[in-house]
Amino acid sequence: MEPHDVRYEPDERPPLPITVGLGIQYAILCIASVILTPTVMITVAGAGDDYLSWAVCAALVISGVTTAIQARKVGRIGAGYILVMGSTGAFLAVSVTALEQGGPGMLATLIIASALVQFVLAARMAFLRRVFTPTVAGTVLLLIPVTLSPLIVRKLGEVPPDASPAAGPVIAGVTLLVMILVPLRASGLLRLWAPAFGIVAGCLTARLAFGMYDTSTVWDAPWIGLPQLAYPGVDLSFRPEFWALLPSFIMVTLVGALDTLGDAIAIQRVSWRKPRAIDFRSIQGAIAADGLGNLLSGLSGTVPNTTYGMSISVAELTGVAARRIGVCVGIVFVALAFLPRFIGLIVAIPGPVVGAYYIVIGGLIFVFGMKILLQEGLDYRKGLVVGVAFWIGLAFQFDWIYPEYFQGIWAELLGNGMTVGGFTVILLAMFGELVGGRRSRLKTQLTPEIWSEIDDFMVRFAASKGWDEDMEGRLRAVGEETAHILMRSDADEGADAPKRRLLLIAGSDGDAADLEFIATTHEANIEDQLVMLSEGAPSFGAETPLRLLRHYASSIRHQQYHDIDVLSIRVESAAQPSRGID
């Protein structure tokens, strides 16, 4: 693995001018998305200006606080990397529906409930890894632009009655043209400014050609000030509309968590000069911080937030990944929340510009979903599940399937394609797990006698699959070397350390065996140790089990979570080539 061109790693301290300059740059690149998302939600739903002012200010403050927490970490909350937080468009469709049906109070309750789910996911991530899969998240991401389409259509047609009939198409067309052409022709940092360039071009067209971008009220606002106090409160009546919309909010929350997972993995890969194994404890912290942001958003009555992938792009381009940058971004966001004139300029952006902006955002969300699915690998079974779930979600979104039979609460529950498609892919994936073959399990303690238990288990497992002596020998060797590594970790901790428990799960995939060693956590990461061996580090006696394990296993993946480790090992027959580590 090649080293990365990183000027400042997370633990290092760049000079103050670099810290402040990059902090402002991050904030300016993301500010439009942070403000426009609650603006679209509230204006489409027809809520008042006071609530809009409050929601935008709250979104900026919460984005700033959670961005700083992501960088610095507070206990187990936060990734420890630069992950800019901001309002997410994934919640737009369901949030508008909640506002229209139950008002800001019910929206706040729904966001709080879904945030609690995110905390559970962060805490129990290791145990939910078979349900919370990239296949599920990728399918739901494909359906988010489908649910956004009615909102986009409404914003594209949001023009004054006396405006020219060409106003909407021309303004939206100019915005789209600039947002698409700039990234196609530019590269590097300039490409990141494409959304801002498109918004500016659309606003200038609206103002100069059609007189639609009215900023007269903006200049009457003070430069510095507080928003109108329009706290919506929390609605605890739990009406039928709440229960109908709750599955949709939970589904989007799960997808947002996977988006955060992907961003947390990516920022780790670009933040260190020397490649490291992925630290899943950092990912748990990132998801927990995301949940904290959503909880604060619900309590304050604004739209939920999530991590922005732009963080990874800027860190990779600049080579600066110091945590101080993230704290500086958070401070800038909070400062901008109390600049009403600046916020007013963004809130006043014409509807066709916003609609075109979200066409691009929806397209990028769709492509991101496809990337997740393709990286996971679309074999026949997964392709069938994704295709059926997508088209069922699409059909229910647009009432193509027997709408006369779904009335009342069923119409609300099944009228959201993202919810229906998400549940479909989860149920089909779970069914595939159930019929995929029974796994063998061994529960024990990490004691000196563990080797004999694991060896007997491997012999029985190989016999149950009808494998030959060579495959049985490979399994027994992997079990022995893994036991040595785990017991050596216990010896390093001392005799007074509490005994670790082990769960060994063995399954088969054709002629290959998939083994999972699940134990209480230990600091050393086996993947990192194997990389050191690959780079020609001196060989010591303690490293012999690692070398033998690498020889017998075709792939090794070590996922470290809070309080638990998952060591996934694939063993193939001797006829298949060994690939080393993932």
Output phi, psi for 554, to 5 deg.
-85, -25
pLDDT, tens digit (0-9, with 9 covering 90-100), for 207-238 = 888 888 777 766 666 777 777 777 777 888 88
Burial of 555 from C-beta contacts in 10 A (0-12 / 13-18 / 19+): middle
Q: How confident is the model at residue 70 (pLDDT cuts 50, 70, 90)?
A: very high
pLDDT score at 517 = 85
Dist CA 249 CA 266 (whole Å): 26
Which pLDDT score, from 0 to 100, does residue 292 have?
94
DSSP letter at 11? T
pLDDT of residue 531: 47
| Closest CA relative to residue 358, chosen from 25, 33, 10, 76 | 33
Q: What is the C-alpha to C-alpha distance for residues 63 and 311, in angstroms, rounded to an integer?
A: 13
The pLDDT of residue 402 is 74
CB 555 within 8 A of CB 570: yes
Amino acid 228: pLDDT: 72
CA 396 to each of CA 135, 141, 174, 372: distance values in angstroms, whole numbers, following the listed order = 20, 16, 33, 24
pLDDT of residue 187: 66
pLDDT score at 493: 53
Architecture field, domain 440-571: 2-Layer Sandwich (3.30)
Bridge partners of 85?
307
Residue 494 pLDDT exceeds 80: no
- pLDDT tens digits for 508-525? 877 888 888 888 765 555
pLDDT digits (tens, 9 = 90+) for 89-147: 778 778 888 888 888 888 899 999 989 988 988 888 777 766 667 777 778 778 878 87
CA atoms within 13 Å, Cβ hemisphere of 261: 21
pLDDT, residue 545, reads 61
Placement of tokens 């955002």 in the chain: 361
Calculate helix-pair angle for 167-185, 351-376, nearest 10 degrees.
40
Q: Strand 501-509 relative to strand 512-519: parallel, antiparallel, unpaired?
A: antiparallel
**pLDDT category, 532, cuts 50, 70, 90?**
very low
Question: Which residues sit opposite 507 in a β-bridge?
Answer: 514
Q: Region 143-161: what's the mean pLDDT?
A: 80
Q: How sure is the predictor about 490, in pLDDT bands with cuts at 50, 70 and 90?
A: low
| Residue 386: Cβ-neighbour burial (10 angstroms; 0-12, 13-18, 19+) | buried
What integer is the mean pLDDT of 470-475?
88
Domain with CATH 3.30.565.10 in the chain: 440-571
Average the pLDDT over 565-577 and give the result.
74
pLDDT tens per residue, range 428-462: 877 776 666 678 888 888 777 787 888 899 999 98
pLDDT digits 0-9 by tens, 240-271: 888 888 888 887 787 777 678 777 877 887 78
Residue 291 has pLDDT above 80, yes or no: yes
The answer to whether the beta carbons of residues 386 and 380 sit under 8 Å apart is no
Answer yes or no: is pLDDT of 374 > 90.
no
Work out whether strand 85-87 and strand 440-445 pair parallel, antiparallel, or are unpaired: unpaired
Task: Give SS3 for 519.
Answer: strand
pLDDT of 61 over the 90 cut: yes
Average pLDDT across the chain, whole number: 79
Residue 195 CA to residue 96 CA, distance in Å, equals 23
Tell me the C-alpha distance between 308 and 85, whole Å: 6
Query: What does the pLDDT look like over 296-337, one tens digit per residue?
Result: 999 988 888 888 876 776 777 677 888 998 999 999 999 988
The residue among 533 and 123 whose pLDDT is bigger is 123
More confident residue, 573 or 81: 81
pLDDT for the residue numbered 94: 82
pLDDT value for 1:
42
pLDDT for res 539: 45
- Residue 541 — very low, low, confident or very high, per pLDDT cuts 50/70/90? very low
